[in-house]
């Protein structure tokens, strides 16, 4: 019993156990005599954290604390959110995924579901829940981890990391969450060849068996955990939108890459327009990399046009999608269902056959908004950016591909090339940039700025569904928080305020659920409901 408490991160307080507790729990002699307060533990561990030379070392150190003591981990995280985000989450999480099998020491309470053992599904989920009331699952099949591709079982860390941010940012109870990886194999040859690889050593299963396995997972999880909010993360382009469409009317589900990214990028656009004092109606939008995120964002921004009073056809006329083949045309048989609504007609252009790359499209279209979700580093070149900036005063440019090594451009280059005129947000955190004596703060257009608050709202409301209205409310609540009074202001609120605006988002989402009658039980006060639901790290 005594050792099981020290080994249970949900119950362990380590040196903070009082003499009475030590006596009651049979811990006499199992801890050093001095009793520390939580604050003392936080100060000591933070000092130790600061001695670690690299972000990967820092993360390893924090994960050891996570494995031992959740309260301490989240108290520490919540006091240093902006500091820890790039270490616990993106971009360092990409390094941990790329080295997962090599660095493995602990499964970190994740659930590993193998397509080769579907008969174990129920038992596995029950084992992992261990009697806990699970309200939130982040599930991945790891086919499209960030922009780094297929990582099989090793992609489980994205589910673990996303959940850490949920709790640190929005106070989701860490005892009510479950990270899940669906190991359906991997097409990553490097993993298949690696003697250390911990996942199933075969190619990805696709088709009917894949669909059945995912379906078995969704229905089993929903049955075991009836108040579940199910977050899909980093599925491949062929599955992400299809799965969202399949389940969103039946269950309370969310796709972060489609919807989370859509919300944050719309919020960034609205923030930018607040600064430039322009209207959405006057924008021309180019998406570079029309995959899961690119199409998800375009849909969200397009819906905003419609909400502001345009017809769907008028709204779509503002969008130009570019993928590997160049501008997407409606006669292209390879278009995905998500790309189709935005494909253009060749008749609109003098020389459509020339529009096979981003530079040609920018030259032809003169976009005012350029969003990068292509996974192709450095593709927002100086020539392209200068061409764009020659036709608009305040070009809105967002290189969103993660991690750092895949970004389409750096904030510094974008501001330098445009003499400070570009309104920029990046996927990963970026330092301030000074151009001509003005210091520009760079907003982070990463879905981590919205999914925690959105999730807290959905969970607090115990919403029966997550619909477009609630999603739109989340985006708008964030846009209102941008401080445009100073020159160089960022187009999104800073990560240092993540806890505050997660709360704002959650309240807006609960209110919208109440207004639409979508709460499982009657709720009257959104603010109180959110406050009541939040978990606080304390002993």
Ligand X SMILES: NC(=O)c1ccc[n+]([C@@H]2O[C@H](COP(=O)([O-])OP(=O)(O)OC[C@H]3O[C@@H](n4cnc5c(N)ncnc54)[C@H](O)[C@@H]3O)[C@@H](O)[C@H]2O)c1
The site for ligand X (CB under 6 A) is made up of 144, 146-147, 237, 257, 261, 264, 288-294, 322-324, 373-376, 400-402, 406, 427, 445-447
**How would DSSP label each residue in 430-474?**
---EEETTEEEP-EE--GGGTHHHHHHHHHHHTBS---HHHHHHH
Which residues make beta-bridge pairs with 397?
Answer: 370, 424
109 binds ligand LMR (CB under 6 A): no
**Closest distance to ligand LMR from the beta carbon of 427 (Å):** 6
- Concerning whether 89 is annotated as a catalytic residue, the answer is yes
- From CA 461, how far away is CA 483, in angstroms rounded? 29
**Element counts in the chain: helices (H) and strands (E):** 23, 14
Q: CA angle, corner 175, sides to 172 and 179, nearest 5?
A: 85
**What is the strand order of the sheet 136-140 is part of?**
111-114, 177-183, 136-140, 229-232, 253-255
Residue written as token pair 């929005």: 170
Tell me if 356 sits within 8 A of 280, measured CB to CB: no
The verdict on 376 binding ligand LMR (CB under 6 A) reads no
The tokens 């090339």 sit on which residue? 417
Which one, 12 or 446, has the nearer CB to ligand LMR? 446
**Residues 220-249 as x/- pattern, contact with Mn ion by CB under 5 A:** --------------x---------------
Beta carbon nearer to Mn ion, 440 or 451 = 451
What is the contact mask toward ligand LMR in residues 76 to 95, using x (rule: CB under 6 A)? --------------x-----
- Give the whole-angstrom CA distance, residue 365 versus residue 223: 50
Tokens coding 291 = 């995959």
Asked if 256 interacts with ligand LMR (CB under 6 A), we say yes
d(CA 458, CA 518): 10
Question: C-beta of 19: minimal distance to ligand X in Å?
Answer: 48
Please name the residue that has the structure tokens 């996974």. Answer: 375
C-alpha to C-alpha distance for 440 and 77, rounded to whole angstroms: 26
The partner in contact with residue 199, picked from Mn ion, ligand X, ligand LMR, none with C-beta cut-offs of 5 to 8 angstroms by kind, is none
In the bound state, the residue with its beta carbon closest to ligand X is 291
Single residue of 141, 257, 323, 338 touching Mn ion by CB under 5 A: 257
Q: Which residues contact 480 (CB under 8 A, 6 or more apart)?
A: none
Radius of gyration of the chain (CA): 23
283 makes contact with ligand LMR (CB under 6 A): no
Q: Is 305 a catalytic residue?
A: no
In the complex, minimum distance from the CB of residue 349 to ligand LMR, in angstroms, rounded to a whole number: 32
Bridge partners for 443 per DSSP: 425
Contact assessment for residue 190 and residue 174, using Cβ atoms and an 8 Å cutoff: no
H helices present in 207-346, as ranges: 207-224, 240-247, 261-276, 292-307, 312-316
Residue 6 or 400 having the CB closest to ligand X: 400
Helices 498-515 and 451-461, packing angle to 10 deg: 40
Closer Cβ to Mn ion, 257 or 338, answer by number: 257
- Minimum CB separation from ligand X for residue 145, in Å? 8
Smallest gap from Cβ 315 to ligand X, in A, equals 21
- Cis check: omega of the bond before 430, within 30 degrees of 0: no
What is the distance between the alpha carbons of residues 414 and 398, in angstroms, rounded to a whole number? 10
Nearer to ligand LMR, 90 or 303 (CB): 90
Catalytic residue among 49, 74, 89, 320: 89
Say which of 13, 58, 75, 162 is annotated catalytic.
162
Q: In whole angstroms, how close is the CB of 189 to ligand LMR at the nearest point?
A: 22
323 binds Mn ion (CB under 5 A): no
CA distance 503 to 487: 27
How many residues lie near ligand LMR (CB under 6 A)?
Answer: 8
Place of tokens 């811990």: 27
The reply to whether 402 sits near ligand LMR by the rule CB under 6 A is yes
By beta-carbon proximity to ligand LMR, the closer residue of 234 and 303 is 234
Q: Does 511 bind ligand LMR (CB under 6 A)?
A: no
Nearer to ligand LMR, 240 or 389 (CB): 240
Minimal distance in Å, beta carbon 393 to ligand LMR?
Answer: 30
Task: Specify the residue, 111 or 447, whose C-beta has the smaller distance to ligand LMR.
Answer: 447
376 binds, among ligand X, ligand LMR, Mn ion, none (CB under 5 to 8 A by kind): ligand X
How many whole angstroms from its chain centre is CA 60? 21
- Which residues are known to be catalytic? 89, 162
Q: Which residues bind Mn ion (CB under 5 A)?
A: 234, 257
Site of interaction with ligand LMR (CB under 6 A):
90, 146, 234, 256-257, 402, 446-447
């Amino acid at each position: 019993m005594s050792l099981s408490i020290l080994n249970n991160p949900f119950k362990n307080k380590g040196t903070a156990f009082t003499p009475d507790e030590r006596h009651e729990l049979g811990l006499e002699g199992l801890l050093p005599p001095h009793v520390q307060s939580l604050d003392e533990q936080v100060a000591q561990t933070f000092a130790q954290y600061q001695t670690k030379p690299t972000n990967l070392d820092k993360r390893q150190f924090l994960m050891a604390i996570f494995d031992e003591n959740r309260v301490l981990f989240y108290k520490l995280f919540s006091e240093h959110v902006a500091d820890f985000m790039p270490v616990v989450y993106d971009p360092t999480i990409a390094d941990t995924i790329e080295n997962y099998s090599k660095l493995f020491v602990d499964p970190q309470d994740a659930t590993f579901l193998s397509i080769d053992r579907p008969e174990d599904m129920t038992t596995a989920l029950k084992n992992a829940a261990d009697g806990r009331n699970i309200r939130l699952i982040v599930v991945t099949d790891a086919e499209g981890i960030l922009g780094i591709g297929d990582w099989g079982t090793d992609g489980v860390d994205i589910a673990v990391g996303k959940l850490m941010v949920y709790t640190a940012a929005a106070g989701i109870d860490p005892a009510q969450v479950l990270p899940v990886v669906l190991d359906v194999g991997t097409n990553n040859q490097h993993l298949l060849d690696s003697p250390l690889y911990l996942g199933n050593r075969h190619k990805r299963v696709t088709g009917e068996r894949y669909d059945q396995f995912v379906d078995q997972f969704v229905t089993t999880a929903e049955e075991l955990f009836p108040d579940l909010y199910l977050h899909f993360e980093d599925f491949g382009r062929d599955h992400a939108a299809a799965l969202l469409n399949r389940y969103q009317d039946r269950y309370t589900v969310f796709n972060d890459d489609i919807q989370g990214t859509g919300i944050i990028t719309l919020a960034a656009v609205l923030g930018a327009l607040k600064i430039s004092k322009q209207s959405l109606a006057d924008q021309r939008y180019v998406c570079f990399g029309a995959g899961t995120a690119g199409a998800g964002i375009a849909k969200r921004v397009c819906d905003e046009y419609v909400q502001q009073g345009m017809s769907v056809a008028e709204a779509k006329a503002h969008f130009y999608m570019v993928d590997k083949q160049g501008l997407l045309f409606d006669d292209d048989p390879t278009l995905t269902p998500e790309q189709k609504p935005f494909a253009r007609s060749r008749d609109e252009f003098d020389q459509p056959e020339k529009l096979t790359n981003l530079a040609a499209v920018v030259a032809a279209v003169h976009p005012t908004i350029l969003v990068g979700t292509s996974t192709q580093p450095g593709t927002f070149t100086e020539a392209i950016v200068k061409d764009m900036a020659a036709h608009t005063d305040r070009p809105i440019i967002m290189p969103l591909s993660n991690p750092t090594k895949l970004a389409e451009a750096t904030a510094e280059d974008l501001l330098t090339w445009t003499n400070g005129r570009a309104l920029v947000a990046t996927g990963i955190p970026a330092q301030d940039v000074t151009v001509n004596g003005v210091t520009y703060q760079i907003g982070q257009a990463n879905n981590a700025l919205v999914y925690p608050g959105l999730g807290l709202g959905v969970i607090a409301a115990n919403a029966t569904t997550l619909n477009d209205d609630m999603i739109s409310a989340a985006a708008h609540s964030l846009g209102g928080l941008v401080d445009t009074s100073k020159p160089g202001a960022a187009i999104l609120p800073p990560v240092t305020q993540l806890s505050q605006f997660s709360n704002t988002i959650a309240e807006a989402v609960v209110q919208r659920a109440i207004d639409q009658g979508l709460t499982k039980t009657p709720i009257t006060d959104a603010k109180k409901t959110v406050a009541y639901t939040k978990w606080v790290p304390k002993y």
